[in-house]
Structure formats: C-alpha cells, structure tokens
C-alpha cells in the first residue's frame, strides 16, 4: 500500500500532472478502488423512476448498480448482482420490474429493497446453513445513498466525508437549476445522448472549466455560425441555434471577466459574474410565472444567476441556466462514456425545454456541430501523451499562492485554478482509503 501512496504522490508537482494520471491502467484501477468509492457519485434523478418498481441501471465507480422505486416510494440503490451466483439481475438500462426482481438464471426473487423474497425448491436448503449465508440477505444495498432535491448520489466506502461536508456551498448551483422551475422541481426528459470517447475521463472534466479553448477549438463550428450570421441583413430575427452557438466565439476578455469560483473537494464553476448563457432572449410568460411563484425579488435573484458550467467532483457537470447535465463515466484509462441529459422545468413554458433540447443537440450530441471539436482534442491528447517527448501536463495558468486554502475562492475566468482544485481533490480522495488500509 505504501508503494501505491508513493506512486500517487509522485504524479503531481506544482502546476503539473504526470501523464500516467491519464494513461496508466494501474492508476485507473486505483481511481476505481479508492477515489470513486470515497466520493459521492451521481447515480440519477428521481424523475427517471416515477412509479413503484421503476428501475434504472448505471454504475458507481466500476460497480454495476441500479436505482429502483421501492413499494414505500423511497428510492433504493442496489448492487446489480444476484446473491446466488453473481448474475446481473437487470440488463436493460431502464424498465419496470413490478413488485420484485427475478433473476433470469435460477429465478431467485427479491423485493425492491433487495431483500430475498423466494427461492425455487427451497427445501433443498433445509438442512444447510443457508439462512446465515450472505446470499440469504438478498441483493446488497449500496451503503451510503443521499437524495438531494431528487438528485440521487451514492458513496460506496464508509470513510469518505458526509454528503454535506463533501458538497458544502457548491449545492447552490444545483439549487439554482431547480429553483428555475416555478414549481421548484425538475423532470428528466427522454434518454440521454450517450456516446463513448476514447480518452481519459479527467480530460472531459477539465474541459468543462477550460475557458481558453472555445474561440480556438470551436472556431470551425461556432465561427462558421458567426460568419453566416454576420452576412445576414440587418433586422433579421436571430434564430435560436445562432443565439446558442454565437457565445462560443466570445473574446478572451469576455471569459476573463466571467470569473471562476472554486470550492473544497474539487468542485467549482465558471460564470461567476456573467456567462455564455446570460443573454438568451426572454421566453414569453416565464418571468410572470417565476414572479408569481417566488415574488419579484427572489425571481430576479434566481434568473440573474447565470453560472456557466458547475463541476461536481469527480465526474458530473451541470448547466443551471440551460438545464443540462453531463456525466462522464470512466470505462478504462482511455475510454469514457459520456451522457448528456436534459431537464424540463416543471410548470415552465415548453419553449424553455425546446431551447434546452436544441442546446444539447447542437453542442453535445454525436451529431452535434460543437462537441466533435472537443472530442478531436481529447483523442489527440490521449495519443499525444504516449509520446516520450515529455512526461508532464501543464496546468499552471494564473497560479496564485494560497489556492485551496479557503473553502471558496473566486478568480479570473481564464485561470486553471479549477483544474488544480480537481487534482488536489483527486489526491485527497485517492489517498484517503489507502492511508487507512496502510495503517490498519
Ligand atoms: S444466479 Fe441468480 S438465481 Fe442463480
Ligand atoms: Fe468545448
């Protein structure tokens, strides 16, 4: 274990990260065993499983899990593993299992809280110690589950921080996204856009607060939109797609002024003062609904908070003003499954959902115009890191003494402080359980 601790500590020096953090399979295995088990990881949204028996299968760390609506209406998160011989109990990503799960191999069945309901030919176990076996307990629940305003998170290991300590004030970004609904509720709409990227998951997370790339990497896509738009006659009504794509071509000064806020435990967001989402046109009726629900001042406070990307360490990103969520699921050191989800603001005009869906389609979809620019950069970086020309990745931009000393700090919007913040948390959550094992 001491060897592993030394290996992890050697992967960072001030403002630099060793390439092995992105490419080495042994480091990836340690991330799954330690970091992703010690942190609170996003599982899903309660609206994905509205009815009793509805389930959704996903992963936490490298573990197959499912969340299910139990008969008492609570959301349970269980390991997707039959206690008999290990078969994954559900194979579809989502569905309804009725009152119980039934394993397809030998038909053991389980209540939706995981407990064992029935075993065929039960008498075969009569004179055995079956009752005291772990199999008799049924499907194992994931030990730590927390629902926060319908967002479900889970932590596998016991020694990680509490939910409140882990997220702290960063929950204000989730609150803002939810409060944008006059009813104070969100609903997932449809299935996510889901596609694999041949790169390390951390490249995707870092990109969420990388404000020095849009005007460069997206010049071919958003820049083309800009060129076409500038050739239109004056007075032409701006189409929604143009309104969404143009801000990607904003200047360095715009992004500098946006600001970046970092919080403890690797969370942070771009768009403290304004963002690429600030100048969307008003949607008729929405403001009135918000004012009726919250009062004039509170409605203005909610709607004037236009944060850009909020990263929830380790692998989640939300965009409050446009109600999208992206989850970066690690598959291997060089493979990540990316899911881009959209939400409806309950009781808000449909036009908002149309804008959200369009944003997801033009920016994040496999058929998008913008997301491919990023994908190209990640995959080039993943292969470039194999080069023996250099071993270190540089994240020194606008480094300041005292970063991470306070629970919350605000910087120039082009700093790489949030990437450094993630890597501080990365080491902390990697070592947390190693140190414990090392001393036990
Ligand atoms: S493996 Fe599930 S019932 Fe046998
Ligand atoms: Fe990008």
The alpha carbon of 49 and the centre of ligand 2 are apart by a number of angstroms equal to: 31
CA nearest ligand 1 atom 1, residue: 85
Of the candidates 146, 139, 144, 193, which has an alpha carbon nearest to the alpha carbon of residue 46? 146
Q: pLDDT digits over 29-83, tens only?
A: 999 999 999 999 999 999 999 999 999 999 999 999 999 999 999 999 999 999 9
Rounded to a whole number, what is the distance in angstroms from the first to the last CA of the chain? 11
The alpha carbon of 210 and the centre of ligand 2 are apart by a number of angstroms equal to: 8
What CATH fold (topology level) applies to the domain 187-430?
Naphthalene 1,2-dioxygenase Alpha Subunit; Chain A, domain 1 (3.90.380)
CA nearest ligand 1 atom 3, residue: 106
Q: Relative to the alpha carbon of 219, which ligand is closest? A: 2
- Give the DSSP letter string of 350-383: HHHHHHHHHHIIIIISTT-SSHHHHHHHHHHHHH
- Residue 106, ligand 1, Cβ within 6 A: yes
Taking the CA of residue 82 as reference, the ligand 1 atom at the shortest distance is 2
CA nearest ligand 1 atom 4, residue: 106
- pTM higher than 0.85: yes
Residue 390 has pLDDT above 70, yes or no: yes
- Residue 87, ligand 1, Cβ within 6 A: yes
Q: Does domain 42-147 have CATH number 2.102.10.10?
A: yes
Q: Take residue 64 and report the two structure tokens written for it.
A: 């197959």
Taking the CA of residue 86 as reference, the ligand 1 atom at the shortest distance is 1
Contact 81, 140 (CB under 8 A): yes
Q: pLDDT digits over 299-314, tens only?
A: 999 999 999 999 999 9
pLDDT at 440: 43
Give the confidence band of 438 by pLDDT, cuts at 50, 70, 90: low
Task: Mean pLDDT check: name the lowest of 134-138, 150-154, 367-371.
Answer: 367-371
Residue 367 has pLDDT above 60, yes or no: yes
Contact 19, 28 (CB under 8 A): no
Q: pLDDT digits over 80-93, tens only?
A: 999 999 999 999 99
- Residue 84, ligand 1, Cβ within 6 A: yes
Taking the CA of residue 85 as reference, the ligand 1 atom at the shortest distance is 1
* Element (DSSP H or E) covering residue 288: helix 286-294
Which residue among 106, 125, 137 is best mutated to probe the pocket of ligand 1, counting the most ligand atoms within 8 A of its Cβ?
Answer: 106
pLDDT at 1: 75
The residue extents of the domains of the chain are 42-147, 187-430
Contact 46, 147 (CB under 8 A): yes
Q: pLDDT digits over 248-287, tens only?
A: 999 999 999 999 999 999 999 999 999 999 999 999 999 9
Ligand 2 ion: residues within 5 Å (CB)? 374
Averaged pLDDT for residues 129-158 = 97
The alpha carbon of 370 and the centre of ligand 2 are apart by a number of angstroms equal to: 7
ω before 254 within 30° of 0 (cis)?
Answer: no
Rounded to whole angstroms, how far apart are CA atoms 341 and 177? 13
């Amino acid at each position: 274990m001491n060897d592993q601790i030394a290996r992890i500590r050697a992967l960072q020096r001030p403002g630099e990260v060793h390439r092995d953090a992105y490419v080495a399979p042994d480091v990836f295995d340690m991330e799954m065993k330690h970091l992703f088990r010690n942190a609170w990881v996003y599982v899903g949204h309660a609206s994905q499983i509205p009815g009793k028996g509805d389930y959704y299968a996903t992963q936490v760390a490298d573990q197959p899990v499912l969340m299910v609506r139990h008969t008492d209406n609570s959301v349970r998160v269980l390991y997707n593993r039959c206690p008999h011989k290990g078969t994954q109990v559900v194979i579809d990503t989502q569905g309804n299992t009725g009152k119980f799960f039934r394993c397809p191999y030998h038909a053991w069945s389980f209540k939706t809280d995981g407990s064992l309901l029935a075993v065929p030919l039960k008498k075969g176990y009569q004179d055995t110690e079956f009752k005291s076996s772990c199999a008799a307990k049924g499907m194992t629940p994931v030990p730590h589950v927390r629902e926060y305003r319908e967002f479900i998170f889970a932590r596998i290991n016991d020694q990680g921080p509490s939910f409140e300590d882990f997220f702290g004030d960063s929950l204000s970004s989730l609150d803002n996204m939810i409060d944008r609904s006059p009813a104070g509720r969100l609903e997932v709409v449809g299935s996510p856009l889901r596609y694999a990227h041949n790169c390390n998951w951390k490249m995707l997370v870092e990109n969420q607060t990388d404000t020095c790339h849009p005007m460069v990497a997206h010049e071919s896509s958003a820049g083309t939109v800009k060129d076409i738009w500038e050739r239109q006659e004056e007075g032409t009504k701006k189409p929604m797609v143009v309104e969404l794509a143009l801000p990607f071509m904003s200047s360095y000064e715009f992004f500098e002024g946006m600001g970046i806020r970092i919080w403890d435990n690797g969370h942070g967001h771009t768009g403290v003062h304004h963002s690429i989402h600030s100048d969307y046109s008003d949607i008729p009726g929405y403001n009135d609904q918000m004012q009726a629900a919250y009062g004039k001042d509170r409605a203005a406070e909610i709607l004037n908070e236009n944060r850009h990307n909020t990263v929830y360490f380790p692998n989640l990103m939300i965009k409050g003003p446009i109600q999208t969520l992206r989850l970066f699921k690690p598959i291997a050191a060089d493979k990540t499954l990316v899911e881009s989800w959209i939400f409806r603001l309950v009781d808000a005009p449909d036009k908002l959902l149309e804008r959200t869906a369009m944003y997801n389609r033009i920016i994040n979809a496999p058929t998008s115009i913008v997301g491919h620019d990023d994908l190209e950069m990640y995959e080039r970086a993943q292969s470039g890191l194999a080069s023996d020309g250099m071993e270190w990745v540089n994240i020194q931009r606008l480094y300041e003494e005292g970063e991470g000393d306070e629970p919350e700090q605000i910087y120039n919007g082009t700093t790489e402080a949030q990437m450094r913040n993630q890597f501080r948390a990365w080491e902390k959550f990697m070592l947390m359980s190693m140190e414990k094992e090392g001393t036990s």
